[in-house]
Amino acid sequence: MSTGLKIIAWATAACLSALIAGSAAIAGEINVVSTAGPMPEVMGALIPIFERASGHKVSIKFQGAPATINQLKEGASIDLLIADEEVMGDLVKNGTIAAGGSSRVMLSRVGVAVRAGAPKPNIGSADALKAALIAAKSVAYSQGASGQHFVTVIARLGLVDTLKPKTIIVQGKPVGAAVAAGEAEIGVQQVAELMPVPGIDLLGPLPGDLQKIIVYAAGVPAKAKDPEAAKALAKFLSSEAAVSVIKQKGMDPG
């Protein structure tokens, strides 16, 4: 390890020790449920750091918000929920998430990618993006948060009829994987979901007010079995110690 990396590792460990001191006197097991999207990649990098520093063990499952909401209604044992802010807001209102028990942790942007080595169209403005979409032979997006937003972008650009015959709705794999395989010329998904996919080039985020910031929040359910350990993890996700990892994964801190 280089001297620079050793300093970063030492500083991160010091920050975490200060952050978690006192909250992990007794190690706990934290049951986390999160929406999918970029979260498996991001949380997969953050959880081991937290576990090493805190002594807590984290079990995490990724699934859609509707399934999680149903499980919470049925009394499932969930200590921490990670979901988009709109879902979290509803759960706070109905008392499923403890009052004062939620906080923003990450911000995600929607991006555009092409196959590695392919020509890179300009998407720096609404007009440039519109021209690129018209020129593309096929355009792919998902049914997730980014895809739902992109549908509104298509409508705003007046391209509903133009793109309908060349639209590919990707299911069961990242949109970037379809682009890398040559199944689509242009792919749209969250930047953090596109970045880890080999074989594609990220053109950048959607331009200007066509962009949507997807806000992810962490919330402690009112019936969490270990709320203190869950709060320690939520606090870590909002800490300076986690910022560098979050940015490396293509997101911004909350």
pLDDT tens digits, 161-182: 999 999 999 999 999 999 999 9
- State the pTM of this model: 0.85
∠ CA 250-141-154, nearest 5°, is 105
∠ CA 36-105-6, nearest 5°, is 100
Q: What are the structural domain ranges in the chain?
A: 3-108+215-253, 110-210
Q: Which CATH class is domain 110-210?
A: alpha beta
User: According to the model, what pLDDT value does residue 99 have?
Assistant: 81
3-state secondary structure of 151: helix
Quick: pLDDT tens for 110-131: 999 999 999 999 999 999 999 9
- Mean pLDDT in residue range 14-29: 56
Same fold, 3-108+215-253 and 110-210: yes
- Mean pLDDT in residue range 100-111: 94
- Mean pLDDT in residue range 18-43: 78
Question: Hey, which bits of 9-56 come out as E strands?
Answer: 29-34
Place of tokens 């509903």: 160
User: According to the model, what pLDDT value does residue 251 have?
Assistant: 96
3-108+215-253: in CATH 3.30.200.20: no
- C-alpha R_g of the chain: 20
Number of neighbours of residue 152 by Cβ within 10 angstroms: 11
